[in-house]
């Protein structure tokens, strides 16, 4: 056990985290503002992360290649399997919180926030 604070990419490089699990964490970070720098909690783009040795060039290529993204989300309207980026692209922002909400009904033309809203929190 160590108290060393590592990025997800560094944990992969040291063999402390399985790559298939870690890539999903990095994918979510990348798509929502950048990779988390564990030293200060800030977000950095993938090229700054590469320069800081938080990730390697293979990880950069994998994060940029949308074809490698895991399709583990089911679109509630189309029932197709989509990846995280596709889900974010289909979301609408909830006006009060700014949270992305994935439409859950094709009948919705706009966003209505109430307890019977047909949006899935995402």
Question: Whats the size of the chain, residue-wise?
Answer: 122
Return the pLDDT at 2.
Answer: 67
Percentage of residues of the chain with pLDDT beyond 90? 23
The reply to whether 82 and 112 lie within a common domain is yes
**Both 54 and 84 in a single domain?**
no
56 and 15 both lie in a single domain: yes
pLDDT digits (tens, 9 = 90+) for 53-76: 999 999 999 888 888 788 888 999
For residue 32, tell me if it sits in a domain.
yes
Host domain of residue 49: 8-67
Residue 82 sits in the same domain as residue 97: yes
Q: How many angstroms from the chain centroid is the CA of residue 34? A: 9
Query: Is 1 inside any structural domain?
Result: no
CB 42 within 8 A of CB 27: no
User: According to the model, what pLDDT value does residue 49 have?
Assistant: 93
Residue 2, domain member (yes or no) = no
What is the rounded CA–CA span in Å between residue 38 and residue 35?
A: 9
- Alpha-carbon distance of 40 to 55, in angstroms, equals 16
Mean pLDDT over each residue of the chain, to the nearest integer = 83
Q: Do 63 and 77 sit in the same domain of this protein?
A: no
* Average pLDDT, integer, range 20-40: 89
Q: With respect to residue 57, please indicate whether it lies within any of the assigned structural domains.
A: yes
Query: How confident is the model at residue 56, as a pLDDT?
Result: 92
- Condensed to tens digits (0 to 9), the pLDDT of residues 92-115 reads 988 999 888 888 876 654 544 444
Residues 85-91: what's their mean pLDDT?
90
Q: Do residue 17 and residue 60 come from a single domain?
A: yes
């Amino acid at each position: 056990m160590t108290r060393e604070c590592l990025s997800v990419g560094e944990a992969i490089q040291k063999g402390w985290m399985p790559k298939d699990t870690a890539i999903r964490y990095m994918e979510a970070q990348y798509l929502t503002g950048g990779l988390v720098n564990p030293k200060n909690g800030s977000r950095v783009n993938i090229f700054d992360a590469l320069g800081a040795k938080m990730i390697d060039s293979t990880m950069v290529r994998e994060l940029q290649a949308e074809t490698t993204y895991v399709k583990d989300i089911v679109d509630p309207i189309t029932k197709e399997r989509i990846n995280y980026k596709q889900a974010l692209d289909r979301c609408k922002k909830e006006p009060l919180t700014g949270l992305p909400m994935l439409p859950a009904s094709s009948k919705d033309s706009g966003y209505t926030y109430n307890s019977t809203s047909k949006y899935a929190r995402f």
